[in-house]
Amino acid sequence: MTNLTELILKQIRYNFKIIFGGKFFYFLLAAVGFFILVAVINLFSNSNPQEENIYYLLLFPGILLMFYPTVFGIQNDDDARMLEIIFGIPNYRYKVWLVRFALICFMVFGILLILGLLSSVALVSFPIFEIVSHLMFPIFFLGAVGFMFSTLVKNGNGTAVVMIVIGLGLWILSGEISNSEWNVFFNPFDMPGDMNETIWEERIFSNRLYLVCGGVIALLYGLINMQNREKFI
């Protein structure tokens, strides 16, 4: 039991080194910098931020934190000559990427909790855990889609361009379907004044269900793509 625990901890530490390697530090700085900039603007302006504003304030840093390790992960493994090892052991690549994806989600969740705590102290009091939990649905979905496209494009920069175009398209589209359950950036804390609360709760549930199902499908499709060993090595 002790050896198994030690092995799991070593595996977690190793994967965190991979996740935090490369240019992730710059994405972390960009996410924290964006958060601080917007928080300072809100702090010294005459506006009175509400929960719905905090949701969007934390959403962009969360997407940035998820972006690099999922989009550039395969290319980083290739650059580090790790793909040969990952593909050399049967079914090992699935375990590696599932564990790594879960660790990325936990890491983003933890960092957003810290940023949420700072927002609660500096801007307005709000249910930190509830908002961060809701944020993980679109972040999980976009991270899974990013990983899926990384298995198709097989190049970090190319995948980044594809995801930026998709992200901009979804953001533009969100203006037209802002209160629809099909909106990836659906804000559950921004209920319209003329909306029935029961209907709003149903939309929140439907939106979260669609994002989870879409994310799981994208993640599984990406793992299936990794069966084509010759396309990666």
> Which residues have CB under 8 Å from 26's CB, separation 6+?
none
What pLDDT does residue 139 have?
94
How many CB atoms sit inside 10 A of residue 14's CB? 13
Summarised one tens digit per residue, pLDDT across range 142-183 is 999 999 998 888 777 888 888 888 888 888 887 777 778 888
How many CB atoms sit inside 10 A of residue 63's CB? 20
Tokens of 55: 């949701």
Domain ranges in the chain are 2-231
What pLDDT does residue 204 have?
92
What pLDDT does residue 79 have?
61
State the average pLDDT for the chain. 81
Of 115, 171, 116, nearest to 142 by C-alpha is: 171
Contact between 200 and 209 (Cβ < 8 Å): no
Tracing tokens 């969007």 back to the chain, one arrives at 56
Integer Cα distance of 168 and 189 in angstroms: 22
How many CB atoms sit inside 10 A of residue 17's CB? 9
pTM here? 0.86
Contact between 177 and 183 (Cβ < 8 Å): yes
What percentage of the chain's residues is helix, strand, coil (to nearest 5)?
80, 0, 20
Integer Cα distance of 179 and 177 in angstroms: 6
Percent of the chain residues past pLDDT 90, beyond the cut = 18
Query: Is the pLDDT score of 3 beyond 80?
Result: no
Contact between 147 and 101 (Cβ < 8 Å): yes
Contact between 181 and 209 (Cβ < 8 Å): no
Tokens of 159: 């995948």
Integer Cα distance of 124 and 113 in angstroms: 15
**Please, which pLDDT band fits residue 16 given cuts at 50, 70 and 90?**
low
Query: Is the pLDDT score of 109 beyond 90?
Result: yes
Summarised one tens digit per residue, pLDDT across range 33-66 is 888 888 777 777 756 777 788 888 899 889 988 8
2 versus 74: the higher-pLDDT residue is 74
